[in-house]
Structure 1
Amino acid sequence: MSAPTREQLAQARVLVVGDAMLDRYWFGAVDRISPEAPVPVVRVNREEERLGGAANVALNVKTLGAQATLLTVVGDDEPARTLQRLLEREGVAALLGSDPQLYTIVKLRVIGRAQQLIRIDFENQPDHEVLAGMLSDYERVLPEHGAVLFSDYGKGGLTHIPRMIELARAAGKPVLIDPKGSDYSRYAGATVITPNRAELAQVIGAWSSEAQLHERAQALRREHRLTGLLLTRSEEGMSLFDDQGHTQVPAQAREVFDVTGAGDTVIAAMAAMLACGRSLREAMPVANRAGGIVVGKFGTASVSYEELFA
């Protein structure tokens, strides 16, 4: 399979729906222990803000060279304004539903001596009326996109996902889902879901052999009417289960530095390829290569067209 041209990718449009968040990093020096408690004192000397969650997925789609629209719910607060500014800077179109009662999701990581010392999360659940408005926006913009990607972090932003999947499939759009939790019935009818090993084991139980994995994965796929199930397996690469059976590609990471956001990169690459008209089996090696590149970077990161197709 030949790689898509820049022109082909530039015409591909992916609608990313889900739980967006702001990733904050505080970097500092650690040279003493606090007299108040047995914890390190971090003298912060640098701060970074990055797109996280569904926003990072949309950024990954854009960085690859495709067009991305992010549909999400945020609060009426400073992190929401920062999120919007970062999205505008990166060229990601955004439909941000505003809920005054919501804390825009923030994950604050404190880094000392090149290690993450603590992560602090700010979050709560969005209002149902705001989510209903999100569904209305979704119906309005769906026809303009070639693929739909749901980024589910279990934060409450995808209450209407069964209806959204139904609308997308009725419109002939491929639907990709990065799943969360153990109830995969809410993803019924999707084109492909992309769980990692721990996420899939939560649903089908731990497997003792490849044969048992294949049997259970295919049973799950058929039960929920999924075209494909793409299992990401870290150092073991990826496995795709579909009507043709099973195919696997080996891992391509040269050196694993940070797995943060690797799943975002994998599913973004899959979505961009499907929006270009490629099949799941054609998209899988590209997504595998993208994941192998991004784990060699620090924090939530993305992969460029040059890195992926050079």
Structure 2
Amino acid sequence: MKELFKKSKPKILVIGDLMIDHYLWGECERISPEAPVQIVDIKDESFVLGGAGNVLDNLKAFGADVGIASVIGEDENGRWLEKRLKARGIKELALIKEQGRKTSKKSRVIAFHQQIVRFDKESKDSISKKSEEEILKALKEKLSNFDLILLSDYNKGVLTSSLVKKIIKLAKNKVPIFIDPKGDDYSKYRGADLITPNKKEASVASGINIKDENSLKKAGFYLKNKFNFNNVIITLSEEGIALFEEEMIKIPTVAKEVYDVTGAGDTVLAALGFSVASGKNLKDAIKFANLAAGVVVGKVGSATATIEEIEEYERSLHKKSFDEYIKSYEKIQEVVKYLKNKGKKIVFTNGCFDILHIGHIKYLEKAKKLGDVLIVGVNSDESVKKLKGENRPINSEYDRAYILTTLEFVDYVVIFNEETPYDLIKLIEPDILVKGADYKGKKIVGSDIAKMVKLIDFIDGKSTTEIIKKIEKRFHKKGQT
């Protein structure tokens, strides 16, 4: 994926409602004696770009060259927004300040990954005709500088019906326009290249209750035909995305864990715009948007996803061949270099893992929790024979390595021939070296290389040797074969 986008730095203009997303992070352990409400002990707070600003942040994370046109207030929040946009390297096509207008700010109280309450400070009145004219004037002068325009409508007054209609007319057949809509009247978006409502918004705008495949199809094509949209995309939460071209196509979601859907629609709009402006078709753009959304809903609050995060997330979803995760010394060196450049904490452990059992599983599961990436060194057949005797291993080195790669918490496996993994540890230089608790007080190979050594308890009575003894006792009695 990185290869597909590495030469892409599309120029994208975002027009819409800028706001601040303010987060108060805390803990909640009791109920107020004054009223039946939760008491949140605030530990931290953060401020990020919200609304159209979150679209901008996502585009910057992808690597786009981004411009903004919007209207804010002459207030403290407006000054914060202006400063943040400059710090993020976002070009101001038109950032207009209106006297008396409140710059939108949404404050959310979060405790234990859950949103407790939200309170908003904002103006919802339509912007002035003068502000509309200033945006249009700037757009006429700079339209040819952009590959694509995204309209992020939060119904806060920037994207008035007259302004949107004039923008679409101005850009028609020159620059594609993608829109994340709001409200129940889509006539102002008529003629747009793409519109991206969610299921609820599409139901309201079409007047069709979307409850199954048939009603979804009717609603999508109703909007497409009635308002002359070139394409319609309806986002369906955990069900994925529906694309309406000549036919309806459903593309499933790829989210593994959902902590917070805040800003997921912004990510989808940004990802679609970035992909298409980079030369991809809509189907490929939707696949990319699905992956990007899968990353951000696994975070709390308004979030973004980089190309690297999306690429890593896609790899975690599609382990098409577990052989890819069995690495040679040369390949693991390349992988480790990449991981360290990304600031990942690397954990290493090793063993024979001849007959995989629950003791192994629990041990490896605990090892992975100590860092970001778990690399397991596996003794080769030759190495096992030297350590365990001629009758071992029971399973070949390839079988043992392959089985380990199928475990969710094992990231990479490397087979080594030596009696100890010292040379492999020297090559990897792990942050954490993990061994069994039976090594307490003993010299641990590689402890002079790793930054830290951790000992993990085994489960009593669980070992390959004990399993072999049990099999021999049960099936190799006199008279049995």
Q: TM-score range by the shorter chain?
A: over 0.9
Give me the whole-angstrom Cα distance separating, in 1, the residues matched to 2:187 and 2:33.
51
1:255 is matched with which residue? 257
SS of aligned partner of 1:212: helix
- Residues 1:128 and 2:129 are matched in the alignment: yes
Please report how far the alpha carbon of residue 276 of structure 1 lies from its aligned counterpart in structure 2 after TM superposition.
Answer: 1.5
Partner of 2:328: none
Alignment partners' CA distance in 1, 2:287 and 2:29: 45
Residue of structure 2 in register with 1:104 after alignment: 103
Change (3 A) 1:208 1:269: closer
Cα distance in 1 for residues equivalent to 2:110 and 2:95: 30
Is 1:4 matched up with 2:4?
Answer: yes
Paired position in structure 1 for 2:145: 144
Q: Distance in 2 between matches of 1:219 and 1:201?
A: 11
Is 1:214 aligned with 2:217?
Answer: yes
Greater Rg over alpha carbons, structure: 2
Q: Deviations over 1:7-26 (max 9, x none)?
A: 2x22x111000001000011
Aligned residue runs from structure 1 range 83-98, under 5 A: 83-94=81-92, 95-98=94-97
Is 1:161 the counterpart of 2:164? The answer is: yes
Q: Unpaired runs of 5+ in structure 2?
A: 313-481
Secondary structure in structure 2 of the residue aligned to 1:277: coil
Give the % identical residues. Answer: 39
Q: How does 1:143-292 map to 2 (within 5 A)?
A: 143-159=144-160, 160-170=163-173, 172-204=174-206, 205-243=208-246, 245-292=247-294
* Partner Cα separation in structure 2 for residue 225 and residue 3 of structure 1: 35
1:246-301 superposed Cα distances (whole Å, 9 cap, x missing partner): 21211100111110000100110110112122222231111111111111111000
Residue identity opposite 1:281 in structure 2: K
Say what the alpha-carbon RMSD is for the aligned residues.
1.8
Contact 1:105 1:123 in 2 (8 A): yes
| Equivalent runs, 1:67-82 vs 2, <5 Å | 67-82=65-80
Q: Deviations over 1:44-76 (max 9, x none)?
A: 221100110001101111110111111111111
SS of equivalent residue, structure 2 residue 255: coil
The whole-number CA distance in structure 1 between the counterparts of 2:29 and 2:254 is 37
| TM-score relative to the length of structure 2 | 0.61
Aligned mates of 1:206, 1:275 — CA distance in 2: 33
**Separation (CA, whole Å) in 2 of partners of 1:118 and 1:2:** 38
What is the deviation of 1:166? 1.1
Q: Residues 78 and 281 from structure 1, CA distance in 2 versus in 1: closer, same or farther, beyond 3 angstroms?
A: same
Residue deviations 1:222-265 (CA, integer Å, cap 9, x gap): 1211111111111111110013x121211100111110000100
1:101/1:127 contact within 8 Å kept:
no
Higher relative contact order, chain-length normalized (CA < 8 Å, sep 6+) = 1
User: 1:268 aligns to what SS in structure 2?
Assistant: helix
Change in Cα spacing, 1:52 to 1:208, as seen in structure 2 (3 Å) is: closer
Q: Distance in 2 between matches of 1:145 and 1:279?
A: 18
User: Unaligned 5+ residue runs, structure 1?
Assistant: none
- What SS does the aligned partner of 1:107 have? strand
Amino acid at match of 2:6: R
Q: Name the counterpart of 2:59.
A: 61
SS at match of 1:4: helix
Q: Deviations over 1:182-239 (max 9, x none)?
A: 1111111111111111111112221343123213311320121111111111111111
Quick one: which amino acid aligns to residue 251 of structure 2? V
Structure 2 counterpart of 1:19: 17
Can you list the C-alpha shifts for 1:142-168, whole angstroms capped at 9, x where unaligned? 211000000001111011001101111
Higher share of residues assigned strand? 1
Cα distance in 2 between the residues matched to 1:213 and 1:43: 44
Residue 21 of structure 2 aligns to which amino acid in structure 1? D
Supply the distance in 1 between the matched residues of 2:36 and 2:68 (Cα, whole angstroms).
Answer: 42
Are the structure 2 counterparts of residues 31 and 286 from structure 1 closer, same or farther at C-alpha, using a change threshold of 3 Å? closer
Q: Deviations over 1:79-133 (max 9, x none)?
A: 1121122222222223311012110000011223432221111111233322332
Equivalences, count: 306
8 Å Cα contact 1:74/1:98 also seen in 2:
yes
Q: What is the rounded CA distance, in whole Å, between the counterparts of 1:162 and 1:195 in structure 2?
A: 18
Cα distance between partner residues in 1 of 2:291 and 2:43: 34
How far apart are residue 35 of structure 1 and its match? 4.7
Cα gap change, 1:208 to 1:232, in 2 (>3 Å): closer
The farther-off stretch of 35-44 and 131-140 is 35-44
Q: Which amino acid aligns with 2:299?
A: K
Tell me the distance in 2 between the aligned counterparts of 1:220 and 1:143: 29
Distance 1:210 1:45 in 2: 45
Q: CA deviation at 1:138?
A: 2.3
**How far, CA to CA, are the matches of 2:44 and 2:24 in structure 1?**
6
Amino acid at match of 1:6: K
Q: 2-side partners of 1:215 and 1:268: how far apart?
A: 26
Please tell me whether the aligned partners of residues 4 and 276 of structure 1 are also in contact (alpha carbons under 8 angstroms).
no
Whether contact under 8 Å (1:59, 1:68) holds in the other structure is no
Residues 296/188 of structure 1: CA separation in 2 closer, same or farther (3 Å cut): same
